[in-house]
């Protein structure tokens, strides 16, 4: 049952869990990594009734564990984004290393019911291209005899924290079901356009459903997270005092943005060859078609300030993970994922320079006794190079899909996860 020290620990972690800066490591701007076990298995963990690291991926897994637990962890991300354009080679100016929290509590109420509470960062991105990286939107242009900076509208930052309370009910020895809500908080949002910068924050709400069935050596699982709309509110600051003086823009105004998060569905099957070796294969489907556009409007005048059209497609990820128990106290894991992008050429965006990518993971878990265990994992992410040439000529307005963003894009990243799990 829940006790006062655990409550204080969880409250402290909630307070400190939003201090990191995020970058996209899966397709689009999604960050599916939610536990150290998941990092080692490249997120192939939806059909696993044995690992407590599976709770964050499929809360229905809590039904197969009789004792309560609290997992506190973090992972460190070292991303590298670069582009080669006509002006040379350019690296994104984001932080070299970033910190992402992972928290999951599971509390056994009786033989059937479990309550869970998780904190994760399922979505995030940060790209900061230096002025000059894309010549068509760098420098200034002349309007009415005045030189106006083009603004280089390719600095973007979004951090989305998910607080997810869930309830799990074990119907039988073989079947467990779960339901919960996803309370999203966009702690920081900063989007540049050719006209100015929007800075703000906001909230949104979604739901999740999970199921896990085990029969002999086989287990199958499924989890669904609904789409959600985050209503961001903040201030829009023009980049050019000249445009303000000419009456083209207000000096500053309150603005809002509805940011659509995609739905997510993950299906998996796991087979335990014996007490030591088990293998799981998952398919994930992400509803990126919900991420239609980025439209910033003035809150009072109700005018459209700028629009980025996205029109992405839904995309799949194929995940394979294996666990091997060396002894009663030590578990090894390995994983591989091929993750498809939903971003086509017609609306390519340098805010999220996405492409298909490979994920490779390794993990180690060690029991320390007295219900305490320590887990560590490493993941390497490598996106396929993308030679983008633009599907239309840029004549101002929406940059996405235009020749202004032509270049050869590269991305890779290193992840190191650490987690402490206490069973009580």
Read off the pLDDT band of 250 (50, 70, 90). Answer: low
Region 318-343: what's the mean pLDDT? Answer: 96
Nearest to 352 by CA among 155, 162, 99, 86: 155
For the chain, the structural domain boundaries read 4-423
What are the residues whose beta carbons fall under 8 Å from the beta carbon of 269, sequence distance 6 or more? 47, 218, 219, 220, 221, 280, 281, 282
Q: Which residues of 196-228 are buried (b: 16+ CB within 10 A; e: fewer)?
A: bbbbbebebebebbbbbbbeeeebbbbbebbeb
Residue bearing tokens 């119907």: 171
Residue 302 confidence (pLDDT): 66
Residue 182 confidence (pLDDT): 98
Per-residue pLDDT of 125-159, as tens digits, reads 778 888 888 888 887 766 666 666 665 656 778 88
Please say whether the beta carbons of 399 and 294 come within 8 A.
Answer: no
Per-residue pLDDT of 83-95, as tens digits, reads 999 999 998 876 6
Per-residue pLDDT of 289-316, as tens digits, reads 888 777 778 766 667 777 777 888 999 9
Question: d(Cα 372, Cα 363) in Å, to the nearest integer?
Answer: 17
Question: d(Cα 214, Cα 64) in Å, to the nearest integer?
Answer: 9
Read off the pLDDT band of 196 (50, 70, 90). Answer: confident
Q: What is the mean pLDDT of the chain?
A: 85
Residue 154 confidence (pLDDT): 66
Q: Residue 102 burial (CB < 10 Å; 0-12/13-18/19+)?
A: buried
Question: d(Cα 132, Cα 93) in Å, to the nearest integer?
Answer: 13
Nearest to 26 by CA among 340, 423, 239, 291: 340
Nearest to 363 by CA among 373, 350, 371: 373
Q: For the domain 4-423, what is the CATH superfamily, name and number?
A: Outer membrane protein transport protein (OMPP1/FadL/TodX) (2.40.160.60)
Residue 145 confidence (pLDDT): 60
Read off the pLDDT band of 17 (50, 70, 90). Answer: very low
């Amino acid at each position: 049952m829940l006790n006062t020290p655990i409550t204080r620990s969880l409250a402290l972690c909630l307070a400190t869990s939003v201090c990191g800066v995020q970058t996209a490591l899966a397709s689009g701007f999604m960050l599916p990594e939610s536990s150290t076990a998941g990092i080692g298995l490249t997120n192939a963990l939806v059909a696993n009734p044995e690992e407590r690291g599976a709770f964050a991926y499929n809360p229905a897994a809590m039904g197969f564990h009789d004792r309560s637990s609290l997992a506190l962890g973090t992972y460190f991300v070292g991303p590298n984004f670069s582009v080669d354009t006509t002006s040379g080679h350019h690296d994104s100016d984001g932080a070299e290393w970033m910190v992402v929290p992972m928290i999951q509590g599971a509390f056994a109420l009786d033989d059937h019911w479990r309550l869970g509470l998780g904190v994760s960062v399922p979505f995030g991105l940060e790209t900061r291209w230096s002025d000059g990286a894309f010549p068509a939107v760098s420098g200034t242009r002349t309007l009415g005899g005045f030189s106006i900076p083009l603004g280089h509208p390719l600095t973007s930052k979004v951090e989305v924290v998910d607080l997810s309370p869930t309830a799990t009910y074990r119907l039988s020895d073989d079947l467990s079901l779960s339901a919960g809500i996803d309370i999203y908080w966009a702690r920081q949002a900063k989007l540049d356009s050719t006209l100015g910068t929007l800075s703000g924050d906001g909230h949104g709400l979604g739901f999740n459903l999970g199921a896990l069935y085990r029969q002999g050596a086989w287990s199958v699982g499924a989890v669904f997270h609904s789409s959600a709309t985050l209503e961001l509110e903040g201030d829009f600051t023009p980049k050019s005092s000249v445009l303000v003086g000419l009456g083209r823009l207000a000096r500053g105004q309150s603005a809002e943005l509805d940011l659509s998060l995609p739905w997510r569905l993950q299906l998996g099957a796991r087979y335990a060859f014996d007490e030591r070796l088990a293998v799981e294969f998952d398919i994930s489907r992400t509803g990126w078609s919900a991420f239609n556009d980025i439209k910033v409007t003035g809150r009072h005048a109700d005018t459209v300030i700028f629009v980025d059209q996205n029109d992405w497609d839904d995309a799949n990820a194929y995940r394979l993970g294996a666990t091997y128990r060396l002894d009663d106290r030590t578990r090894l894991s390995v994983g591989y994922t091929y993750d498809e992008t939903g971003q086509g050429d017609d609306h390519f965006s340098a805010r999220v320079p996405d492409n298909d990518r490979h994920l490779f993971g390794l993990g180690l878990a060690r029991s320390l006794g007295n219900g305490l265990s320590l887990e560590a994992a490493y993941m390497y992410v490598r996106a396929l190079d993308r030679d983008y040439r633009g599907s239309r000529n840029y004549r101002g307005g929406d940059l996405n899909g235009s020749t202004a963003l032509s270049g050869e894009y590269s991305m890779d990243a290193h992840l190191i996860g650490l987690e402490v799990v206490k069973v009580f």
